[in-house]
Chains A and B, each alone.
Chain A
Amino acid sequence: MDKLYADKCDMLACMTYTRLDTGSLNILIRLLILILLLAGSVLVSILLGDVSIDAETSLRTLFSPGNSGSDVHDIIWQVRLPRTLIALVVGGALSVSGYILQVLSRNNLADPYLTGVSSGACVCVALGVALGLNFDLIPVAGLLGGLAASLIVAYVSRSHDYQGLSVTRLLLAGVVLSTFLIALTSLVIFLSGNPVLAQGLLYWLAGGISGKSWSELGPGAVYTLLGFGGAFLLSKQLRILSLGKDYAASLGAPVAKIQWSCLLVAVLLCGAAVALSGLVGFVGLIAPHLSRHLFNNDERLQIFTCAVIGGILVILSDLCARTLVASQELPLGTLLSLLGGFFFLALMARDKGEITIR
C-alpha cells in the first residue's frame, strides 16, 4: 500500500511544479544564490545607464558617498541609487502583496491590483489632470482614489461567515470594479477632450520610476517595511487560513480578523508601490509563483524570497527599460509584462500538472 502512495507521490511531484527538493541544504544554496543575484542586480543597475561611466569610477563613487559635487557622484548617488532602491521597494511590495492575496483567496491568479488600488488611482489621476489639479498633488489623488476603491472592494466582499470576507466575492468585485473604473477613466479622458491628459494617463498605465528621488523613496520604503512586518506577523495565520475558513476557525483562528488584516497589508503594500511607480503589472503575479517554485518551505521564507525575487525582477526590468534603446526610456510596466508573460507561459507550458497553492 505504501509503495502505491509513494508512486502516487512521485507522480504528483512530477505533475506539480511547486514540488522541488526541499532539503535544507538545497534551500540554503538557493537562498544564497538569490541574495547574490539581488546584490548583482543592484550593482549592475548602478553601474549601467544612459551615461557611460567606467566601472572603477562608479564603484569608487558608490563607496565614497561624502565626495559630492561631481557629475558622476550626482548620477550615481542622486539618480541611479535611489532609482534602483525604488525598483527594489516596488518589486518587493507588489510581490508580497500578490503573495498575500493569492493565499487569502486560495487562487493563484490573484494579483495586487484586484484590490482596486490601481483602477481607483487611475480614475483619480485622470480626474485630477482633467480638472487642472496641481501636478505635485496628482500622486496623492491617485493614492486616495486607490484607497477608496479598495474600501469599496472590501465592503462588497463582506461575508456573513465570521463577519469576514468572501474570497470569491473579493476576486469578482476586484475584477468588476477595475473594469468599471477603467471605463470611467476612458470616459473622463474622452469628455475632457485633452490629448495631453490621454498621453499622461498612458504613461501612468505603462508604469515607471524615472525621475524619482530619495524624497519619494523614504515614505514608500517605510510603508513597504510596515507591510513586510505585517506579512511576517500574519504568516502562521496565513498557513492556517490556507486550509479553509471553517477548518481555520475550528483550529481557533480568528478568521475575520486575519482576513481584514491581510487585506489591509496587501492594500498598504500595493498602495505604496502605485504611489512610487504607477502601474507596474505582472510582478505581483509572477514573483509569488517563482517563490513557491523555488522555496516550497514555510511562509516566512516564501514572503522573504517573494520580496527578493520581485525586487530583482523590477530592478532588471528597469535597467532594460532605460538601456535597451539609446537616449530613450521604455515603459517599465510594459517591458515587465512582455518579459514576464513570455517567461511565465514558458514555465507553464513545461509543467503540465495542477498548480498547488499553500
Chain B
Amino acid sequence: MIEAKSLDIGWNKNDPVLRGVNLSFKPGMITTIAGPNGSGKSTLLKTLTKLLEPLAGDVLLNDQSIKDLSFAGFARKVAYVPQSKDFSAALTVKQIISLGRNTHQMWWSWQMSQDDTLAIDEALLKTGLTELQDRDWNCLSGGERQRTLIAVALAQKADYLILDEPVSHLDFKYQLAVADLLKSLKQSGISVIVVLHDLNLIELVSDRIVLLSKEKKMVAKEGTPAEILTEETLAEVFDVKVKITTLDQRRSFHLIGY
C-alpha cells in the first residue's frame, strides 16, 4: 500500500502547492487524481514517485518510507508514466521499452533474459506497438509516444502504476483502449494511480477519486465516483456548470458553461 502521511508538497516551504495530504492507495484499485490546472496533481505524483522530496510529512510504501528505498528498489515496485516527454533521442520504440527492464538487470549489463523479452513483447502487444517497435522515437506521433511511455512502465512489471495524464494526446479509440488496459491491470492485482481530466473517462475507470482544490491548496474530497462526481462538487472545485444525465445506465457528463 502507498500512503501519504501529513504531506506538504511543492518547491517552496513557505508556499506549498498542497498542505496536509493524508491518502492511502490500496492494492488492486484504480484511484484517479483530479482537480483544476495548477492544483498540484503532477506535483503530488512526483512526490509519490520519489522524484520530489516532500516539504513535510512522509510517503510510505508497504509501511517503509520511500526515502529509505533506493531508486532501483522503488522502481521495481512502482512504475511512473510522465506527462509527455521529449527525449530528442535517436532510439527506437523497442530500445526505449527495453529500458523498463533496467531494474531487473545488472546495472552494467545489456543482456536480455527470457523474462525481459517476454515482458517487452507483452508491453508492446498491450499498447498496440508491436508493428512500430523498430520505429524511431523522433518519428512517432504524440499518441504513439504516450503509448510507448505506458509500455515502458508495463515492462517494469511493478505492483503500482502511476500515470500522469496518459490520454492527453490519444484519440478516442486509444483513450478507451487505455481505460480497458487500466481495468485489466487492476484485474491482475496492479494498483493504478492516474491523473485524468475527462469526467466521462474518470467515471468509467475509477474506483476512487481524489479531488484537489487549487484555492484551498489541499485535498477537497475523496470517495467513489458516485460520491465525488456530483454537479455541486464539480461546480465548487472546478467553478463550472456540469449537467449529469444517464444513458444506458451510465452517467454522462456535459459541460454547460461557467
| Contacts from A to B (Cβ < 8 Å) | 1, 5-6, 8-9, 12, 16, 18-19, 106, 233-237, 239-240, 242-244, 246-247, 249-255, 292, 296, 298, 300, 356-358
Contacts and interface: CB of A to CB of B under 8 A. Distances in A.
Given A5-B139, A252-B103, A246 B82 contact: yes
B128 to A, nearest CB: 12
B1 interface: no
Nearest to A4: B141
Contact of B90 (A5, A18, A233, A255): A18
Closest 8 CB pairs of A and B: A252-B75, A9-B139, A252-B103, A252-B72, A250-B80, A233-B108, A358-B90, A358-B89
B51 A250 contact: yes
A254 B70 contact: yes
9 contacts: A5-B135, A12-B139, A236-B102, A240-B99, A246-B46, A250-B82, A252-B72, A253-B102, A357-B89
Interface in B96-143: 96, 99-100, 102-103, 107-110, 135-136, 138-141
Contacts of B152: 251
Given A5-B139, A9-B138, 4 more contacts: A106-B88, A246-B46, A251-B99, A254-B71
Nearest to A7: B139
Contacts of A1: 141
A246 B108 contact: no
Interface residues of B, number: 39
Which residue, of B72, B79, B88, B135, has the highest number of chain A Cβ atoms within 10 A? B88
Contacts of A356: 88-90, 138
B89 A243 contact: yes
A249 B139 contact: no
Contacts of A357: 88-90
A100 to B, nearest CB: 15
B75 A236 contact: no
B89 A242 contact: yes
A292 B91 CA distance: 12
B116 to A, nearest CB: 13
